[in-house]
């Protein structure tokens, strides 16, 4: 009985270690996807500007004008938007705070 309990405890500890590593890897994967989406949106923003000589108003506008094939989905359930700040070209930002 005692040996079975020790084996169960050992299996539980090993499972925790493995699942902890999986969660960390999955989080890193989601951030990588988000950064790739931000790069794609930024590229579309600058291509739009080169074509129309004005900045796009929204990501939906980039899709509508076919500078993006579809609106990117933020992997952690957030959203993307175009941030316009004084003295800087507009750029894409993620509601989850990811940057590239």
pLDDT tens for each residue of 11-62 = 777 777 766 677 788 888 899 999 999 999 999 999 999 999 999 999 999 9
Confidence at residue 19, expressed as pLDDT on a 0 to 100 scale = 67
Q: Of 53, 48, 33, 17, which Cα lies nearest the Cα of 100?
A: 33
Assess whether pLDDT exceeds 70 at residue 74: yes
Give the three-class secondary structure for 94.
strand
Sequential DSSP letters for 41-72: HHHHHHHHHHHHSS--S-HHHHHHTTSSSSPP
Q: Which domains does the chain have, with CATH numbers?
A: 2-94 (3.30.1300)
Residue count (the chain): 100
φ/ψ of 80, rounded to 5, equals -115, 150
pTM for the complete prediction? 0.77
């Amino acid at each position: 009985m005692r040996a079975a309990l020790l084996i169960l405890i050992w299996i539980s500890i090993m499972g925790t270690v493995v699942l902890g590593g999986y969660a960390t890897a999955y989080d890193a994967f989601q951030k990588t996807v988000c950064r790739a989406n931000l790069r794609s949106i930024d590229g579309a923003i600058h291509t739009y500007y080169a074509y129309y000589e004005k900045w796009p108003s929204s990501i939906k506008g980039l899709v509508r004008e076919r500078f993006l094939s579809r609106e990117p989905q933020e992997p952690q359930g957030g959203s993307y938007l175009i941030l316009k700040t004084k003295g800087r070209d507009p750029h894409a930002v993620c509601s989850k705070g990811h940057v590239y």
